[in-house]
Amino acid sequence: MKPGAFFICGTDTEVGKSLVTAGLLKSLSRAGAVAGVVKAVQTGPELHDQNIYARACPGAAAQTLLHFQCPASPHLAAAAENAVIDLGRLAEEIERAVAGQGLTLIEGSGGLCSPLTDEATFLDLMIRLGYPVVLVIKNSLGAINQALLSVSALKNSGLAVRGLIFTRVSPAQAGEGLIQADNVKTIAHRTGLSVLADLPFLPALAGGRGSPPAWAELADHLAAAALELSNDRAAESAGHSREITAFDREHLWHPYAPVVNPPQVWPVARGAGNYLILPDGRRLLDGMASWWCAIHGHGRPELAAALREQAAVLPHAMFGGLTHEPAVRLGQALLKMVPPGLDKIFYCDSGSVAVEVALKMALQYWQGRGRPNKVKFIAPLGGYHGDTLGAMSVCDPVGGMHALFKNHLPQQIFVPRPAAPFGEAFNPDSTLELERAAARHHGQCAGLILEPIVQGAGGMWMYHPDYLRAAARICREHDLLLIFDEVATGFGRTGRLFAADWAGLTPDIMCLGKALTGGTLTLAATLATRTVAEGLSRGGGVLRHGPTFMANPLACRVALASLELLSGSPWSERVAALEQELRLGLAGCAASPAVAGVRVLGAIGVVEMKQPVNQGRLQKFLVEDCGVWLRPFGRLIYTMPPFTVTRPEARRLTGAISRAVEEGWA
């Protein structure tokens, strides 16, 4: 089991980080641990810190990834050489270093908020990587303020602070000993963190030079800290993981999995950037965006901050008879994004409930219009709309996941799956069956529900926008409401903000969910045109639905922060780059005789096998051998990653899928 890595960061510059890092390295090496050091960015004419590591522990694995000559903050030093630090590439280089040298100490540059680029600080890099932190504190006047601010920033960013190391970088002045002792006591008490070491001033090491005995003395002072760090992840995580998985196996249900003799699950300790981090320190590249929700990656401080701020003010208030600012602000943001004409918003608990609400809206609309016999729905085969009863009734009744319940569900009217693939020529005859069904059944049908452009969990089928245009025309001609289920496709997944945008359409009703909160909390929304809302409301009618947690302020506030993140990011360019990488990386799979087809659109890449995959065997290979998290099902191996994955990360995902196909793991 690999012990992982720790950030060695300071409350400011010149607090003794390099000495602490070098001393820990020497102490670890002296104890026989496989350890190394990575200095992410060094500024100044010399490789100062690299030299300190070499003096302290000759021959130990140590590397500096970026070096700029100007002795300034990293972004300014880089700019002096007409360079810009690439945060994603730097994170990847650190991960490669960590993977190759056992327990790794990653030394920071200056304080936590030392700028790496015009937009990003060292803290942003730390958040992206997610390793635990050892905070180095200069033990002098002002230490309490600096330490508490730094610990607060780390915890608010979702980073685990493993402990504190206090340093004295100059001889104590008269009366300073009392202050230093109080610093240690007060900071430990107020933060609740362990004091790993309280180092004395070692004059022989001033300036980073010194004799072997001086370095040995420093290593002695840090021996207990080094032992604690080296044992920390291996011992604690192993016991913790066993406890978690044992209880889970005995008592917890997982989706679409047997509860008796369940398949293997992997415990997750936290998320950081595009990765899920296991208790033993292993990092799995999240190729699923945690079921298509975490479009910004994990551990985004903006979302965590929104959640904290709202929790301190108003965690929940019933929406019956009350309103609140997060619901209103979110509604304003949504109406600026969705296709024009969608004017009324009903907040829901989940995507399945959003579909339930959409069906109820359509039924009550026709009741308000004096046509109560319009109670059925038309839906294409291959569709999936959720797991609640109404939503199940419009899912594929044959090849879908809900055939067990077919005798208990309303009987709907199904038409063939949209036949024209996305990107190929559209055959107008492909909508004839839909037109016939609408002409034959419009008197008893309230509407047509479908997933625009991409049928998701029903088979990851991607079809031509002209099918949607034809469907809209057919609905108009036969008095049917057009319902778009964009729970999976909404918020940029297909390369357009909404899949409806590919056809330039506004449906009568639209369902949203999944990525709405960026994967932070469950929230969905069903939007309708004013025509639908007014028709439903005729004669004083009200929509017969009202969840307890409708428009929950926490979820609404986080959703607003997520939409602001999306709008303020180059999401379209990112998705386009992802699509390019997925096309290139998966193209070779089409040559395999075991593969039925390869499909890519936006941030969705699919390899369809000719036979169902062995999910347990394949998933174990992907986790243990490839370090990626994917969730194959049926005959599909697919990825729908966060939009923030880099090109190298996208290649890692496609490489894992390609290996699975080539080596026969599927």
In terms of Cα–Cα distance, which of 557, 97, 133, 533 is closest to 312? 557
Pairing of strands 342-348, 283-286: unpaired
Count of CB atoms situated within 10 Å of the CB of 520:
23
Mind listing the pLDDT tens digit for each residue in 444-471? Answer: 999 999 999 999 998 999 999 999 999 9
Domains of the chain, by residue range, sit at: 5-235, 308-567, 570-662
pTM of the model: 0.77
CA distance 114 to 153: 13
Does position 235 have pLDDT exceeding 50, yes or no?
Answer: no
Count of CB atoms situated within 10 Å of the CB of 537:
15
In terms of Cα–Cα distance, which of 363, 536, 383 is closest to 449? 383
Mean pLDDT score, 38-55? 88
Write the CB contacts of 544 (distance below 8 Å, at least 6 apart in sequence).
Answer: 360, 364
Pairing of strands 445-450, 413-415: unpaired
* Structure token digits, residue 594: 């075991």
Instruction: State the pLDDT confidence band at 239, using cuts at 50, 70 and 90.
Output: low
Pairing of strands 509-512, 524-529: antiparallel
State the Cα angle at 285 between 462 and 295, rounded to 5°.
55
Mind listing the pLDDT tens digit for each residue in 399-457? Answer: 777 778 888 899 999 999 999 999 999 999 999 999 999 999 999 999 999 999 999 99
Give whole-number Cα distances, 417 to 107, 360, 381, 437, in Å: 55, 24, 5, 13
| 5-235 and 308-567 have identical folds | no
Mind listing the pLDDT tens digit for each residue in 587-626? Answer: 999 999 999 999 999 999 999 999 999 999 999 999 999 9
Contact 133, 153 (CB under 8 A): no
**Which active-site residues does the annotation give?**
256, 384, 485, 514
Quickly tell me which residue has 């016939």 as its tokens.
Answer: 436
CA distance 27 to 225: 9
In CATH, 570-662 is 3.20.20.70: no
Give whole-number Cα distances, 297 to 41, 338, 443, 514, 575, in Å: 24, 23, 46, 13, 13
Pairing of strands 461-462, 283-286: unpaired
DSSP assignment of 585-648 = HHGGGGGSTTEEEEEEETTEEEEEESS---HHHHHHHHHHTT-EE---BTTEEEE---TT--HH
Contact 29, 215 (CB under 8 A): no
CA distance 71 to 56: 23
Does position 164 have pLDDT exceeding 90, yes or no?
Answer: yes
CA distance 616 to 396: 25
In terms of Cα–Cα distance, which of 189, 179, 203 is closest to 151? 189
* CATH number listed for the domain at residues 308-567: 3.40.640.10
What is 5-235's CATH superfamily?
P-loop containing nucleotide triphosphate hydrolases (3.40.50.300)
Mind listing the pLDDT tens digit for each residue in 93-146? Answer: 888 888 766 789 999 888 999 999 988 899 989 988 888 899 999 999 899 999
Total count of residues recorded for the chain: 666
**What does the pLDDT read at residue 342?**
98
